[in-house]
Amino acid sequence: MTCENTVVMPVDTQSLTAADLQGGAPLLGLIEVVDASGSAVARLGITRWPVVVGRDLTADLVLSDPHVAPEHLRIESSATGRTGVVQVLQTINGVRQGRKHYEAGQFFAWPVGEDIVMGHLRLRLRLADMPLEPEQSLTTIPWRTVGSTVALVLAMVTLALVQSWLKVSEPEKFAQVAVAVVGALLGGLALWAGLWALATRLFTGRAQFWRHVRIVGVVSLVESFVSGLGYLLAFVFSLESLSHFNFLLSAPVVAIGIAFQLLVIAPQRGRTLMSTVAVTTLVLVFAFMGTNWLQNKRWTNQLYLSALFPPSWRLAPTVPVSQFLREAGTLRQRLDQRLKDQSEERSDGEDE
């Protein structure tokens, strides 16, 4: 969706033929302009070199983006005719190609297949000598995609049922619990993927609901594996800190999943989206830890190893009984001191 990036077309935006061009001159190339959502907003057939792009009406391709100079860049063909050569003209914003930024007066090669960015628009170049990719077959049902989606959903349901079975204390009630768990899982999955599909439809014109479902499925399974592995290592090697801060293993996985869903909406903003999600994740993690510290004088809300496995899996050395009793005594002292502090804070609050 763009409002300001309107492009005045010298040719029809839907089709280009030699007969549409002056004198029936053959096309030497094609420049396609796309907006932030990846939708094509203009196409310019090239019948001569050089080609000037800018906001001035004398330019060959006229853009109305206010971040584009009157004559922003000049494009020519290379000696081999297989790449474009770009000269950046009088502009304060320059041109970006990948991670490189070019200022006014600089030249650079524009390989076919790579985008260049000027203002809020991306330009794509296609030359007449560029080989075409083979035609792809049109299938009514993408069975491979359907199969992977079904497999991911079934894996999520199976994992949820196994976790529920391990937590149920009365096996005869497992059927009732299983129905509730599966219903909540499928309902939450449909709602989450549906909201992302709605946003994708608004910005790109395509919902891609099942793609969001697959992203959620992969993230859910990876997060469960990473989290479970953390708890397992904490139990095997008696690493209590790893159990206490297990959420630090899950947070990056969830953040990456959200970043991939954002990339479905705006694939051209990959670096910006990744950076934004990373910063937001760090802020939320530190906020969570800071809140726990202010409320409970500890960085996490987990007090002990919350996941137990068969005792034969433990590799940590055993602790003598005397040492266990001594450490338990210090734990009692810390708990008594914490209760005393809380009681004093409560008394001070009542006095106030």
pLDDT digits (tens, 9 = 90+) for 120-141: 888 998 888 777 788 877 666 6
pLDDT for the residue numbered 351: 60
pLDDT for the residue numbered 86: 93
C-alpha torsion sign, points 228, 229, 235, 241: negative
pTM of the full structure: 0.62
Average pLDDT taken over every residue of the chain: 82
3-state secondary structure 281-335: HHHHHHHHHHHHHHHHCCCCCCCCCCCCCCHHHCCCCCCCHHHHHHHHHHHHHHH
2, pLDDT greater than 70? no
C-alpha torsion sign, points 53, 56, 62, 66: positive
276, pLDDT greater than 70? yes
23, pLDDT greater than 60? no
**What distance in Å separates the CA atoms of residue 134 and residue 125, rounded to the nearest whole number?**
19
Count of positions (residues) in the chain: 352
C-alpha dist (Å) from residue 177 to 180, 188, 223 = 5, 16, 23
The string of pLDDT tens digits covering residues 66-113 is: 899 999 999 998 877 678 899 999 999 999 988 899 999 999 998 877
332, pLDDT greater than 80? no
What domains does the chain contain, in order, with CATH numbers?
7-127 (2.60.200.20), 145-296 (no CATH)
The string of pLDDT tens digits covering residues 154-203 is: 999 999 998 888 887 777 788 888 899 999 999 999 999 999 999 988 88
